[in-house]
Amino acid sequence: MSTNVVPGGQKAANTPSNNVALVFGAAFALRLGLLNLPAFPSILADQVEISTPITSFKRLSEGVFLFRNGVPPYDGGVFHQAPLLLGLFYLIINSPPLVNALYILVDLAIGYMLLQITAIKERDSTSEKKIMQYGDKTEESGMSGLTVASLYLFNPFTIVSCIGKSTILFSNMAVVAGIWMGMKRNKGLAMFSIALATYLSFYPAMLMIPVVLMLTRGDIGKQQQKRISVQCGALFLACLISLFLLSFVLVDSWSFFSGVYGTILAVTDLTPNLGLLWYFFIEMFDHFRSFFLIVFQLHVFIFAVPVSIKLWKYPLFVSFILCAIMGTFKGYPSIGDAALYLGLLPLSSEIFKYMRYTFLVVNLFLYSSLLAPIFWYLWVYVGSGNANFFYAIGLVYGIGEIILMIDTTFAICRRDFEILSPPETSGDPASLGWDREVVQK
What does the H/E/C string look like for the chain? CCCCECCCCCECCCCCHHHHHHHHHHHHHHHHHHHCCCCHHHHHHCCCCCCCCCCCHHHHHHHHHHHHCCCCCCCCCCCCCCHHHHHHHHHHCCCHHHHHHHHHHHHHHHHHHHHHHHHHHHHHHCCCCCCECCCCCECCCCCCHHHHHHHHHCCHHHHHHHHCCCCHHHHHHHHHHHHHHHHCCCHHHHHHHHHHHHHHHCHHHHHHHHHHHHHCCCCCCHHHHHHHHHHHHHHHHHHHHHHHHHHHHHHCCCCHHHHHHHHHHHCCCCCCCCCCCHHHHHHCCHHHHHHHHHHHHHHHHCCHHHHHHHCCCCHHHHHHHHHHHHHHHCCCCCHHHHHHHHHHHHHHHHHHHHCCCHHHHHHHHHHHHHHHHHHHHHHHHHCCCCHHHHHHHHHHHHHHHHHHHHHHHHHHHHHHHHHHCCCCCCCCHHHCCCCHHHHHC
Q: What is the pLDDT of residue 128?
A: 59
Q: What is the pLDDT of residue 135?
A: 41
d(CA 34, CA 40) in angstroms, rounded, equals: 7
Q: What letter represents residue 45's amino acid?
A: A
Tell which residue, 117, 120, 121, 139, has the closest CA to residue 130: 139
Provide the Cα torsion 422, 428, 434, 438; round to 10°: -130
Q: How many CB atoms lie within 10 A of CB 234?
A: 11
Residue 47: burial class (beta carbons within 10 Å; 0-12, 13-18, 19+): middle
List, for the chain, all residue ranges whose pLDDT scores fall below the cut of 70. Answer: 1-16, 126-141, 422-441
Cβ atoms of residues 289 and 280 within 8 Å: no
The number of residues making up the chain comes to: 441
Q: What is the pLDDT of residue 384?
A: 83
Residue 14: burial class (beta carbons within 10 Å; 0-12, 13-18, 19+): exposed
**Relative orientation angle of helices 335-344 and 315-329, to the nearest 10 degrees:** 170
d(CA 425, CA 439) in angstroms, rounded, equals: 17
Tell which residue, 376, 269, 367, has the closest CA to residue 46: 376
Tell which residue, 271, 215, 216, 257, has the closest CA to residue 56: 271
Paired with 11 in beta bridges are 5
Tell which residue, 32, 297, 271, has the closest CA to residue 163: 32
Q: What is the pLDDT of residue 166?
A: 94
d(CA 354, CA 131) in angstroms, rounded, equals: 13
Cβ atoms of residues 412 and 351 within 8 Å: yes
Q: Residue 97: CB partners within 8 Å, gap ≥ 6?
A: none
Q: What is the pLDDT of residue 129?
A: 54
pTM recorded for the entire structure: 0.89
